Amino acid sequence: MAELLWKRGTTLGQGGFGVVSLASTSNALFNGVTLPSLIAVKSCNYSDSQSLKEEEEFLGMFKHSPCIIHCFGANLSFEDEVIIYNLLLEYASGGSLANRLRNCNSLPEFEVKKHTKNVL
């Protein structure tokens, strides 16, 4: 039962295949692994879950890589009378790479280089 494993919190974002929420856990064992206190849960209607199932399989190929988000597995929940498919993911607390790159524009070092180029 999903509700015993994790509790849905705020929405982190939305992609083409599901909504990603921050979720708290009680550090329960899931698929032989102790879940961290915070995870990201990517959810969609069970009837549209083929893409998330493929994502789970794909992430499983990189399960030993420290550079790829870890997928703990998937489970189902029943919310507002709809069966929801949930992918339980490692929470990336640093935000997205896209945002990091966008924020580079405001880094002081970048400003210095821009200024230097203008002067020359």
The encoded tokens of residue 8 equal 């849905």
**Which residue of 17, 24, 30, 46 would you call a contact of ligand ATP, by CB under 6 A?**
17
The binding site for ATP comprises: 42
Which range, of 8-16, 60-68, 78-86, 101-109, touches ligand ATP by CB under 6 A?
8-16
Within 32-91, the residues that bind ligand ATP by CB under 6 A are 40, 42, 69, 89-91
Instruction: Yes or no: say if 47 and 62 are a contact pair by the CB < 8 Å rule.
Output: no
Q: Provide the minimum distance between the beta carbon of 42 and ligand ATP in the complex, in angstroms, as a whole number.
A: 6
Cα–Cα distances (Å) from 98 to 40, 41, 61, in that order, read 18, 20, 24
Tokens encoding 51: 């893409």
Q: Give every CB contact of residue 64 below 8 A, 6+ residues apart in sequence.
A: none
Site for ligand ATP in 93-112 (CB under 6 A): 96
Between 6 and 18, name the residue whose CB sits nearer to ligand ATP. 18
Q: Give the range of 13-21, 23-31, 79-87, 101-109 binding ligand ATP by CB under 6 A.
A: 13-21
Among 83, 92, 104, 107, the residue binding ligand ATP under the rule CB under 6 A is: 92
Task: Tell me the C-alpha distance between 13 and 20, whole Å.
Answer: 5
Burial of residue 91, with CB atoms counted within 10 A of its CB: 0-12 exposed, 13-18 middle, 19 or more buried: middle
Binding site for ligand ATP (CB under 6 A): 12-18, 20, 40, 42, 69, 89-92, 96
